[in-house]
Chain A
Amino acid sequence: MLYREAGQFKTSYAKDQAVFPIIQDRWFIALILVVAYGVVPFVANEYWLQAVLIPFLIFALAAIGLNLLTGYAGQLSLGTGAFMAVGAYATYKITTAFPEINILVVFVMSGFVAAGVGVVFGIPSLRIKGFYLAVATLAAQFFILWLFNKVGWFYNDNPSGTITAPPRTFLGIMVAGPEATAEVRYLISLTFLVIFALLAKNLVRGRIGRSWMAIRDMDVAAEIIGIRPLQTKLLAFAISSFYCGVAGAMFVFLWLGSAETEAFDIFVSFQVLFMVIIGGLGSILGSILGAAFITLVPIFLTNAPALVNLPMPTDLGKHIEEIIFGGMIIFFLIVEPNGFARLWQIAKEKLRRWPFPY
């Protein structure tokens, strides 16, 4: 009853092609944005922003990046962590070498650096696909982290071997470094996510996105109808790595504050892949929902025993967490292999008729 599109006539091509053609969707998105911008920063406390919301926003951005590559272009990648690391280290190098450049511009610049690296490690995708490609991207994962660990130039020969976010301002407000408040960092992350999610949404319904999907569904057939596999696949790697790079830069500069290469290890890659698959392959909304699920579940599991006053030793708690997490992943894949995006779609279809049977 509430979600009815009857009577919404599209009278121009522009309206027909809108990103959100249904008025309820537009209201829903607007409501979410109003709450996210206008309510959350004033209500949420430091813990919620720092431990839940900021990592969720950053991982959502990385998940969108990986979804462009894996969900839309069909190239399985296990190198997300490394591409995020490239973004983070590039930001560190650029902002320490040229402190006068605005930090937000630096984020985007390091995204381009990550895109370049992504293209290099995307080259094998021209010859191989599927799991072979996944293992090839593992080479990126291990090699890049080793490089950042070994070569002092990347972390300015810092004796601790870490990269630390220097204090940086935007419009006179501290956005990075130890003095930046969680609210500001939250708002910046949110803005990045909103802008890049919209960009991705538009990207995948245009010519580029369609050529990616053609390559994903059957690359030989796509080639025959005139899609160039070389450019298309490498572009997918470039744009995906761009997203991951920006997310990686935010990961260190807006969330952790300082990090070593271990922060970007193979488990980060797996985590982002989980988000993409649990959320739904080939769905921007799905990436965001998946990121919410994967960041929230461990926090919930860690805090759940304390909530019901159940004393539990840390290591036992950690193992139970692993079991529940693994079990949930298997359960979700069995119940709905197409992820949250599909569940959302089903819910919308049900809502359309609700509460009447027809």
Chain B
Amino acid sequence: MDLVNVLFIAPFLDMADAPVFLAEVVISGVLTGVMYSLVALGFVLIFKASGVFNFAQGAMVLFAALTLVGLMERGVPVWLALIGTAAVMVALAFVIERVMLRPLINQEGIILFMATIGLDFLLQGVGQIAWGSNVKVLNIGIPNKSFEVGGILLNEFDLFAALIAAVLVGVLAVFFQKTAIGRALRAVADDHQAALAVGIPLKTIWVIVWSVAGIVALVAGIMWGAKSGVQFSLSLIALKSLPVLILGGFTSIPGAIIGGLIIGVGEKIAEIYWGPAFGGAIEGWFAYMLALVFLLFRPQGLFGERIIERV
């Protein structure tokens, strides 16, 4: 009876008692979710276009943030540092395609996955050697003041982050739907062979996709870096974005966003209302369990393409 109370009654009473607090929890969850989405977005882009499960996305986030901070520490103005970092990420995409992806073409997914784990180690090492491994403060002038709306405490920075994410998704959507390159990308995602047959250069497409993923990583790196400092743990959020992918589906951009929001909110609510019943710190595994349970009912995720088996 006690268990039932702790699990099914008390949390909801707590929620009803303090609606303002609940709203704050939800909002903070939404904002964490946006951050997860930004990382998951990079995964989805690469998975869609090349079928590579890019484990190095987290390392790319770290690498981009480190490069940006490093450039700024050397007195480069913010706008120039941003352009410079973006250029570095594009250059990185070229190198990855030339050195790693091209020789591994037509290998099995797991081999490519392993290669990206190798890339993960490599990028972490390079980034930290080039720019130092101590925790750095990233400040590019995003406002960071708190204000109240209807008794709910909000932070300008968080709103800014949500806005950036929304803009990014909008730009990506336009890019994918309206431009010629976007159409080519979708064609490659649908069917590599057919895309090749109608004359779409696969190698160029891969460079573009990895560049876009690199720039998305840069945006994610700026947001996470400005929030919690640029440090090694940034690369670990890649692990957190995996359940987001599962929930949203590996191949869906809206899925990455909505999955991120669900995981972000769910995690915060679970931690605050159900955490005490389990002895706390359930944030670490809650997302994975949620994804696991979800998978049992819908293996392709919320918006993923239906998995069709052909023999």
Contact = CB atoms under 8 A, between A and B. Distances in A.
Interface of A: 70, 76, 124, 127-128, 130-132, 135-136, 138-139, 141-143, 146, 150-151, 218, 220-221, 224, 266, 270, 273-274, 277, 281, 315-316, 319-323, 325-330, 333-334, 337
A327 B122 contact: yes
B239 A266 contact: yes
Nearest to B127: A319
B122 A220 contact: no
A26 B76 CA distance: 66
A323 B122 contact: yes
Contacts of B296: 124, 127
Interface stretch (B135-143, B202-210, B283-291): B283-291
A180 B107 CA distance: 46
Interface of A is mostly: helix
Contacts of A328: 118
Contacts of A127: 295-296, 299
A301 to B, nearest CB: 11
B197 interface: no
Contacts of A315: 128, 133
B292 A139 contact: yes
A127 to B, nearest CB: 5
A143 B110 contact: no
A286 B299 CA distance: 32
A76 B108 CA distance: 13
Contacts of B110: 70, 76, 277, 281
B115 A333 contact: yes
Range class of the B interface residue count: 35 or more
A138 B239 CA distance: 9
A76 B114 CA distance: 12
A141 B108 CA distance: 25
B250 interface: yes
Interface of B: 53, 99-100, 103-104, 107-111, 113-115, 117-126, 128-129, 133, 239, 242-243, 245-246, 250, 278-282, 284-285, 288-289, 291-292, 295-296, 299, 309, 311
6 shortest A-B CB distances, which residue pairs? A326-B121, A329-B118, A326-B122, A322-B125, A323-B125, A139-B288
A294 to B, nearest CB: 12
Given A128-B299, A136-B295, A334 B311 contact: no
**Most interface-central of A150, A218, A327, A333 (chain B CB within 10 A):** A333
Contacts of B109: 130-131
Nearest to B292: A139
B278 A333 contact: no
A83 B113 CA distance: 22
Nearest to A71: B110
Given A281-B110, A337-B104, A139 B285 contact: yes
Contacts of A138: 239, 242-243, 288
A323 B291 contact: no
Given A124-B296, A321-B125, A322-B125, 9 more contacts: A76-B110, A132-B295, A132-B299, A150-B281, A224-B311, A274-B114, A315-B128, A328-B118, A337-B111
26 contacts: A127-B296, A131-B53, A135-B288, A135-B291, A136-B288, A138-B239, A139-B285, A139-B292, A143-B289, A151-B279, A220-B311, A277-B114, A319-B133, A320-B125, A320-B129, A322-B122, A323-B121, A323-B126, A326-B120, A326-B123, A326-B124, A329-B115, A330-B119, A330-B122, A337-B107, A337-B111
Given A131-B250, A146-B281, A327-B122, A220 B113 contact: no
A135 B243 contact: yes
